[in-house]
């Protein structure tokens, strides 16, 4: 039997986060391309961003045919948050990066495991027509309840919060507090020996 979900935040009624949600009035439009497998993940953070950010949308899919709207985005003012050798480092301090930050109007973020994000990149040629951005230094991961094999991993919420901090000086702490609440709610009913794994 499936668990009853909160109609607003879409978490279970026992772990409802509505009381912890915040409103962030961002100017940069955040576009989250979510792999379909993430819709089944109860701890997914993209839906929290969709509830908290004033400029955010989540689109499910994994290939170009699912994301036709990308063709309408301005190529010179849109970036994909994805690490590669050509990516501009948002936490860099050179003139090119500073100019880039003032020009960006849209930031595309891939929501899925590294393997799924890579698949979206490979199956969506339009993404390669946008510039890539990434981070030189990764903040400490606060997303305790979902482990990743990579040490440089951040949850989608953390990656977006840090990007907004670097691009438009948005204080990331309100969004981090929502993530902390998710961590606490998801672990509160765990037996002690299980909860210990997530510290």
Q: What is the pLDDT of residues 53-82, one digit of tens each?
A: 999 999 999 999 999 999 999 999 999 999
- What are the backbone angles phi and psi of residue 72, rounded to the nearest 5°? -90, -5
Three-class DSSP category at 190: coil
pLDDT, one tens digit per residue, over 14-41 is 899 999 999 999 999 999 999 999 988 8
Phi-psi domain of 154 (left: phi exceeds 0; alpha: psi -120 through 50; beta: other)? beta
pTM of the model: 0.90
- In the block, tokens 């990007």 appear at 163
Token readout for 166 is 């670097």
The pLDDT > 90 percentage for the chain reads 74
Contact 101, 91 (CB under 8 A): no
pLDDT (average), residues 33-52: 92
Please provide the DSSP assignment of 110-142 as one string.
EES-HHHHHHHHHH-GGGGGSEEEE-SSPPPP-
The domain spans of the chain are: 25-139+153-182
| CATH hierarchy code of domain 25-139+153-182 | 3.40.1280
């Amino acid at each position: 039997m499936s668990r009853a979900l909160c109609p607003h935040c879409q978490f279970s009624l026992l772990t409802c986060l509505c009381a912890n949600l915040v409103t962030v009035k961002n100017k940069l439009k955040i576009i989250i391309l979510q792999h379909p497998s993430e819709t089944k993940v109860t701890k997914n953070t993209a839906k929290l961003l969709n509830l908290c950010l004033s400029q955010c949308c989540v689109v499910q899919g994994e290939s170009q045919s699912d994301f036709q709207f990308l063709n309408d985005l301005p190529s010179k003012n849109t970036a994909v948050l994805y690490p590669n050798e050509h990516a501009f480092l948002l936490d860099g301090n050179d003139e090119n990066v500073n100019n880039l930050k003032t020009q960006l109007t849209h930031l595309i973020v891939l929501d899925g495991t590294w393997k799924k994000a890579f698949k979206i990149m490979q199956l969506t040629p339009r993404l390669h027509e946008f510039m890539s951005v990434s981070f030189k230094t990764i903040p400490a991961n606060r997303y305790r309840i979902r482990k990743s094999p990579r040490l440089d991993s951040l949850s989608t919420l953390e990656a977006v919060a840090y990007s907004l901090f670097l691009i438009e000086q948005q204080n990331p702490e309100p969004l981090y507090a929502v993530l902390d609440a998710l961590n606490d709610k998801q672990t509160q009913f765990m037996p002690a020996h299980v909860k210990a794994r997530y510290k």
